[in-house]
Copies of this chain bind each other. A is one copy, B any other.
Amino acid sequence: MLYQHSIQTYDRTSGSASCRVLPGAGRAVSRGPIGQTGAVAVLATVDLGSSVAVLRRAEARDVPAIVDLLAADQLGATRDGVRAAEDLAAYLRAFQAIDADRAHLLVVAEAGADIVATLQLSFLPGLARRGALRAQIEAVRVHEDYRGRRLGEALMTWAIDEARRRGCALVQLTSDKSRHAAHRFYTRLGFVASHEGMKLSL
């Protein structure tokens, strides 16, 4: 296990870790009213060797850094980025929609003062497969300085574990066919490329 589940509250204003560490209590964190009390709940901590990253629920103040991660990506460069105030406003509106619904969980990995990875985990009810709840992962990004350090693996493993805790029967994602390294990465984690991922731009 590359990461440790914990509830580790720290002061939002200083950002310094403190207080309690409660191993194994990640489930309670992810279900609780995170971010409403002035304290930030850590979902897990990840040992990167020379440093540590914390996985936590994203907050509005993280949005510019998340957008930077999206735009730093080869495919995202043409689609994402903040060039004008209205761009940021659109991202913040989307953040509010995600954050207001407990069916969605936008996660960031923070190392020091930097947001170094992100993903969105969504929980979707459906009738198929005996009424199975399914987890869907979107917008997985790891900062290039943090690739090859198993941070992505820890982030994904946390997400899969969280899906299991919420009773999902399936985790699903789509990945652009040009991302060969990503497909190898997801396959190592147990994903099977059994489906065509089809998109229609409106």
- Which residues of A are at the interface with B, using a C-beta cutoff of 8 A? 63, 66-67, 70, 76, 79-80, 87, 90-95, 97-98, 101, 103-104, 106, 120, 122, 124-133, 136, 138-139, 160, 163-164, 168-177, 183, 186-187, 189-202
Min CB gap A49→B, angstroms: 27
Residue of B nearest to A180 (CB): B196
Asked whether, in the complex, the Cβ of A194 is within 8 Å of the Cβ of B202, the reply is no
Q: How many angstroms between the C-alpha atoms of A202 and B97 in the bound complex?
A: 28
> What chain B residues lie within 8 Å of A201 (beta carbons)?
169-170
Min CB gap A171→B, angstroms: 4
Question: How many monomers of this chain does the complex have?
Answer: 2
Asked whether, in the complex, the Cβ of B200 is within 8 Å of the Cβ of A190, the reply is yes
Asked whether, in the complex, the Cβ of A198 is within 8 Å of the Cβ of B202, the reply is no
Min CB gap A94→B, angstroms: 3
Asked whether, in the complex, the Cβ of A195 is within 8 Å of the Cβ of B171, the reply is no
Asked whether, in the complex, the Cβ of A192 is within 8 Å of the Cβ of B202, the reply is no
Asked whether, in the complex, the Cβ of A172 is within 8 Å of the Cβ of B174, the reply is yes
> What chain B residues lie within 8 Å of A97 (beta carbons)?
125, 133
Q: How many angstroms between the C-alpha atoms of A129 and B129 in the bound complex?
A: 31
Asked whether, in the complex, the Cβ of B90 is within 8 Å of the Cβ of A131, the reply is yes
> What chain B residues lie within 8 Å of A79 (beta carbons)?
128-130
> What chain B residues lie within 8 Å of A138 (beta carbons)?
124, 126, 128
